Amino acid sequence: NVRIGKHISLEIDATSKDAAQKKVEESCKKLLANPIMEFFEIILGE
């Protein structure tokens, strides 16, 4: 099993975790990941 990938950390200003989740999902789909070939996982911190 071989895995090649990238790790991207973002700091987002948002009013709530839901708002942050939506902003990050949008960014990933539009800019950071190719949904045809890649998948992404979002882990929210405090």
Contacts of 40 (CB under 8 A, 6+ apart): 28, 32, 33
- Are 25 and 14 a contacting pair, CB within 8 Å? no
Along the 46 residues of the chain, how does pLDDT read in single tens digits?
887 888 888 888 999 999 999 999 998 888 888 878 888 888 888 7
- Ordered DSSP codes for the chain: --------------SSHHHHHHHHHHHIIIII--TTT---------
Measured distance CA(43)–CA(25) in Å, rounded: 11
pLDDT at 36: 84
